[in-house]
Amino acid sequence: RGPFPGIIDIYGVGGGLLEYRASLLAGHGFAVMAVAYYDFEDLPKVPNTLEMEYFEEAVCYLLQHPQVKGPDIGLLGLSLGADICLSMASFLKNISATVSINGSAFCANRPIHYKQTTIPALGYDLRRTKTTFSGILDILDVRNDIVGGCENPSMIPIEKAKGPLLFIVGQDDHNWRSDLYAQVASERLQTHGKEKPQIISYPGTGHYIEPPYFPVCLASLHTLVNKAVIWGGEVRAHSKAQIDAWKQILSFFGKHLGDTQNPRL
């Protein structure tokens, strides 16, 4: 009957509203809200800036829902969605557990804005794009260098996050260097007197770590270049990672958001 622990679920570049992961999470005793932030109904076709006030409204809406058990909620994001979740955890209240799936902890291609604070975009150079033997693009090296490491001005101030952070990392991610970024995030937290975050790193695993038994996405259209790009990963290793990562995510939220009424894995 509820109420249930609340989670906001956010996907990355591509836009629209994806609800299948939220639906699967809900089957494990969570009240889950999938949030679209561009290219859906009356939302902008392409956002120029990521406004945290928009996501703050989502947090407030979820916490006011009678089926949601407060006082805090959790966040789950993939890729750009993971960076949005890390920004929400850093700037907003009432967030006690955040999972980043192959996020970067940097402001990627668009500035992040909240009240009087703006985080500048790290930026990229498409001239560093490579072409694989199959003719598909590899964009691993297009992002600008993280000069200054964990103190780069484009890094999200994750040391302000209230609750624990879990980084799920694919070691063969070809969207960006998720394994490096997770280590830089850990360095930033420790530099600011925080504990090391939990980092679970999977060899042979690419960018799109989906729920268990979903087909492995090795390549697809990327809106940044409007062409197919490789995401990395080897089918067997990536598939096994998706099974284990799901268990880790459910365990993390179960621990930090409170026991659910249907805690099966």
Is 207 an annotated catalytic residue? yes
The H or E element spanning position 123 is none
Q: What is the DSSP string of 51-93?
A: EHHHHHHHHHHHHHSTTEEEEEEEEEEETHHHHHHHHHHHH-S
121 in Cβ contact with 107 (< 8 Å): yes
**Which is the catalytic residue, given 96, 173, 174, 179?**
173
**Which is the catalytic residue, given 79, 87, 154, 186?**
79
19 in Cβ contact with 56 (< 8 Å): no
84 in Cβ contact with 50 (< 8 Å): yes
The residues that bridge with 84 in the sheet, in sequence order, are none
**Which is the catalytic residue, given 28, 113, 174, 207?**
207
Overall size of the chain counted in residues: 265
**Chain centroid to CA 39: how far?**
18
Q: Distance between CA 68 and CA 28 in Å, rounded? A: 14
Is 173 an annotated catalytic residue? yes
Is 9 an annotated catalytic residue? no
Active site residues: 79, 173, 207
